[in-house]
């Protein structure tokens, strides 16, 4: 019995939507186009239910990653706001508004760093699934972390 294609699936709404091919649930070998439903790599039978379960799990990771990427991008802007607050605080040094802005900057910096961290906390996909996921937004995550950490360090140092 050939592998069925009717259940080819999509990771809905991703940046790079791709169909998920039938793959071996034991070793991850891509079984697309094979005449038999036995994995040529490890001999495992293709069991559709098992495959669907794995696809569901991958979709959850994809969802988590999309959210983490979104928050990291938000964190980037929060980080810029933190830098602006801290910068204005330096300009107004000595006044009360300076203290207020420094505290606001530190809080925003903390938020930015926290938002950036999310991207690193999403679990790693199995090796067959990495290609199907949207890319991790490391640039936004790192920018959020660096802006956040720099502002917090600056505020503590200048106190
Ligand atoms: Zn296999």
Each residue's pLDDT tens digit in the chain (159 positions)?
344 434 334 444 444 445 788 888 888 888 888 888 899 999 999 988 988 998 898 889 999 999 999 999 999 999 999 999 999 999 998 899 999 999 999 999 999 999 999 999 999 887 777 777 889 999 999 999 999 999 999 999 887
In 28-137 the beta strands, taken as DSSP E runs, fall at none
Beta bridge partners, 45, equal: 38
* Residues across the chain: 159
Task: Find the 45 Cα to ligand 1 centroid distance in Å.
Answer: 8
Q: Are residues 34 and 69 in the same domain?
A: no
pTM of the model: 0.76
Task: Find the 46 Cα to ligand 1 centroid distance in Å.
Answer: 9
Q: Is residue 139 a part of any domain in this protein?
A: yes
Q: Are residues 80 and 135 in the same domain?
A: yes
User: Who contacts 132 (Cβ-Cβ below 8 Å, separation ≥6)?
Assistant: 11, 18, 20, 58, 62, 125
Task: Find the 65 Cα to ligand 1 centroid distance in Å.
Answer: 27
Domain count, the chain: 2
């Amino acid at each position: 019995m050939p592998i069925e294609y009717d259940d080819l699936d999509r990771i809905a709404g991703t940046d790079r939507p791709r169909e998920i091919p039938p793959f071996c649930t034991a070793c991850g070998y891509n079984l697309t186009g094979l005449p038999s439903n036995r994995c040529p790599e490890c001999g495992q039978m293709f069991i559709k239910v098992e495959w669907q379960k794995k696809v569901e799990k991958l979709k959850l990771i994809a969802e988590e990653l999309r959210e983490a990427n979104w928050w990291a991008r938000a964190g980037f802007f929060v980080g810029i706001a933190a830098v602006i607050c801290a910068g204005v605080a330096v300009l107004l040094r000595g006044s009360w508004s300076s203290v207020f802005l420094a505290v606001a900057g530190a809080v925003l910096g903390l938020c930015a760093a926290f938002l950036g961290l999310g991207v690193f906390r999403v679990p790693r996909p199995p090796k067959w699934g990495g290609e199907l996921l949207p890319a991790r937004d490391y640039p936004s995550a790192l920018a959020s972390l660096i802006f956040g950490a720099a502002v917090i360090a600056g505020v503590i140092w200048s106190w």
